[in-house]
């Protein structure tokens, strides 16, 4: 616990060469299947019935939002389950049913009025590549397709649906501010305790 609470504590997976670049990211775009989930699709007679999300990833999204990093979602699939998760996480910019993700990306650029120089994209497979090639910081989960890994500037240690988004969140937050301070401020603001030692 002492190492966690040390004022200089930082996550280890963000390459040091990317810290300055990561500090300027103000929008993170996430794929869903294979990034926010492990990619498993469960169907019943009425269509998709299960989509499993990771609570650590959800908290990572809330932490990014708390320091001014907006989160958006672009996915090829439509799912009422996803719509519910987006509401829970207060993600207002999400685009579903886009096999051609560039169309959604272009709409997002206009809607958010943001430069690609301030955008990161987290993906896992070849449908993500067109957008990953447009943004400043393309990121792959550990179990991404090798082609996607080869075109990414950062490959996180965690796999899709198992904390990869939280790892991205920690890295981006630590690049712009002290990570422990960000945790403490979040706990004070959203939980009502004084910080990590009181959590």
The whole-angstrom separation of Cα 141 and Cα 148 is 9
The pairing of beta strand 154-155 with beta strand 94-95:
unpaired
Closest by CA position to 25, among listed 162, 169, 178, 190: 169
Give me the mean pLDDT over the 164-188 stretch.
Answer: 93
pLDDT in tens, 71-117: 999 998 888 888 899 999 999 999 998 989 999 999 999 999 999 99
The whole-angstrom separation of Cα 153 and Cα 195 is 33
Phi, psi (deg, nearest 5) at residue 39: 95, -5
Domains of the chain: 24-198 (3.40.50.1000)
Prediction pTM value: 0.89
């Amino acid at each position: 616990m002492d190492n966690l609470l040390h004022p200089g504590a930082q996550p280890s997976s963000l390459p040091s060469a990317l810290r300055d670049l990561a500090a300027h990211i103000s929008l993170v775009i996430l794929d869903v299947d294979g990034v926010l989930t492990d990619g498993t699709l469960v169907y019943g007679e009425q269509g998709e019935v299960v989509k499993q999300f990771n609570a650590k990833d959800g908290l990572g999204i809330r932490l990014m939002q708390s320091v001014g990093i907006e989160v958006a979602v672009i996915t090829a699939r439509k799912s009422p389950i996803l719509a519910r998760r987006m509401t829970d996480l207060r993600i207002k910019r999400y685009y579903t049913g886009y096999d051609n993700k560039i169309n959604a990306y272009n709409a997002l650029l206009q809607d958010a009025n943001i430069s690609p120089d301030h955008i990161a994209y987290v993906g896992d497979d070849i449908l993500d590549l067109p957008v990953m090639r447009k943004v400043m910081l393309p990121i792959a989960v550990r179990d991404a397709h090798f082609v996607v890994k080869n075109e990414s500037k950062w490959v996180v240690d965690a796999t899709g649906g198992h904390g990869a988004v939280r790892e991205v969140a920690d890295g981006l937050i630590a690049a712009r501010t002290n990570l422990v301070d960000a945790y403490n401020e979040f706990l004070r603001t959203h939980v009502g305790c004084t910080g990590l030692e009181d959590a």
